[in-house]
Amino acid sequence: MAFVRRQLSLRASHLLDKFSTSGVQKGFGGGGYYSQKASLSSEQSVGKLIEEENVGCLGSNDEEVAKIREKFDLAKKRFLEIPDALERMPKMDPKGIYVNKNLRLDSIQVYGFDYDYTLAHYSPSLQNLIYDQAKQHLVNELKYPDVCLETKYDPSFPIRGLYYDKLKGCLLKLDFFGSIEPDGCYFGRRKLSRKEIEELYGTRHIGRDQARELVGLMDFFCFSEVCLIADIVQYFVDAKLEFDASYVYQDVRRAIQHCHRSGLVHRGILSDPDKYLVKNGQFLSFLKMLRENGKKLFLMTNSPYYFVDGGMRYMLEDSLGGDSWRELFEVVIAKANKPDFYTSEHPFRCYDIEKDNLAFHKVDKFLPNKVYYHGCLKSFLQITKWNGPEVIYFGDHLFSDLRGPSKAGWRTAAIIHELEHEIKIQNEGSYRFAQAKFHIIQELLGKLHSTVSSKHACDSYKSLLSELNDERQNARRTMRNMFNDSFGATFLTDTGQESAFAYHIHQYADVYTSKPENFMFYQPEAWLHVPYDVKIMPHHLKVSSSLFET
């Protein structure tokens, strides 16, 4: 901005110099102003001055374009030097803990965990299971056409953190400031052009009124939901049938919730655990390490106990021996009904494992090796006497798992499984090469726009502008396709800015990492600090064009 202001200032002084400024008079309030005593007073003389100025503009434009062209040609030659320069840059740790708010681990006495996608790791096959069960419910129970059964889950299409517009039927990827990604708007399975986005929304920025119609798709189960919504919308479009976009969302949401609440998904997983669950003895080592350091642990999940028990026994059967996994936790809470758990006043009920029913006595203390259902945060704190800041809760769902604890004063840790994969991509030389090219071209475009008047654009200006835009678009496309062909990266937009999903992590997660057991690589008394040079998301390392300056 300083560069732009300087150019504007020089431009203004250039215009003033065209006039004779032989005297200074006093203006309103005593300020001085220049009084032009024009020796040419006719309209023809003024026209002559403007004509001279235009000629000067054109000459100035040509000179500036030539300078930027020279820099662009030099940059293209020096693109070959980028890989060597990148070797000097540090790489981010795919298993690191990334910090939004300073956290002293020595002050944390209580560790709480969600189950699904936090302690339990699932294979990609789970999304196929949920998708297939949900589409069968749409056809069998909600009477959607049989042809909908022919669709198949496409793992290459969805990412986490998208929004669905219930009014217009579009799937949207938004940036940190709530603007639609130009290449991240789909109606069904068709990507909309920038022109179509402008026709639908008027602007790429989503205002408050429009935001009310958006629903966030934020947890790890949303992959199948995103894909099914897109496929159902596409069916209506192909069949040329009128439909209400909000009904599509409601029906798909109902179908997926039915699969979870009825136990279809749970029974499907437990019937073939080798296919859906990933054994992970490392998190057992992490839990034991915490206990050895005097920390208290609790498990709180929305899933029913039989499902959690079956999964934990399968995942830990090679590591636990004859011990019960429940002995690792001071408290085990199932069917917690998050996020209502954090605001309701539902009482806890003790669950009888043998009889599969709930006891009727009042729960005023948590007993070892027992399981509890329902409950609320208010009762939980009254019974445990655990103060908010000494508790950290790990979960994968930013709204259901982390928003409530964050507002209640607990510390929060977001578990984002795709983080590890995306950091590995960002560490690759090919990605960093494209990112460096993008930033170099972006800087040249900025100089071109700020120093050359498009009002007097010459052919050399238009040619250079076209070449720079093509180079930038190629770099963006290269970076995008390394993550996901449809929506790109989860945390980043195509221009390298943070996404709306990144915004929610920044808002509700004190720290974030790919797996809870990554904490094993840190001392229990470690102080986790926000990096001094953090942009918005601390795991993002920006490639600066200054690396390639001599």
What amino acid positions are annotated as catalytic residues?
A: 114, 116
Q: How many angstroms separate the Cα of 426 from the Cα of each of 82, 329, 352, 493?
A: 15, 37, 49, 13
Give one word for 341, left, alpha or beta, with left for phi > 0 and alpha for psi -120 to 50.
alpha
Contact 395, 411 (CB under 8 A): no
Triad 356, 362, 363: Cα angle to 5°: 80
- C-alpha distances (whole Å) from 214 to each of 119, 168, 279 are 30, 10, 37
With beta carbons less than 8 A apart as the criterion, state whether 132 and 256 touch: no
SS3 content of the chain, % helix, strand, coil (to 5): 50, 15, 35
β-pairing verdict for 511-513 and 162-165: unpaired
Using alpha carbons only, how large is the chain's radius of gyration in Å?
Answer: 30
C-alpha to C-alpha distance for 79 and 143, rounded to whole angstroms: 58
Q: Which residues pair with 352 in a beta bridge?
A: 357
- Whole-angstrom CA distances from 429 to 375, 443, 463 are 50, 21, 30
CA–CA dist 470, 143 (Å, integer)? 48
Token pair 């022109």 is found at: 195
Two structure tokens written together for 73: 């040609």
- β pairing state of 331-334 and 348-352: unpaired
Cβ atoms of 32 and 24 within 8 Å: the answer is yes
Task: Catalogue the long-range contacts made by 102-106 (C-beta closer than 8 Å, 24 or more residues apart).
Answer: 102/527, 102/528, 102/529, 102/530, 103/392, 103/411, 103/510, 103/511, 103/527, 103/528, 104/527, 104/528, 105/519, 105/522, 105/523, 105/524, 105/525, 105/526, 105/527, 105/528, 106/524, 106/525, 106/526, 106/527
* Cβ-based neighbour number of residue 288 at 10 Å: 13
Rounded Cα–Cα distance for residues 475 and 286 (Å): 41
Q: How does DSSP classify residue 399?
A: I
CA angle 100, 101, 103 (to 5 degrees): 125
Residues 298 and 304: beta-carbon distance below 8 Å: no
Chain length of the chain = 550
| Cα 37 to Cα 359: distance, rounded to the nearest angstrom | 98
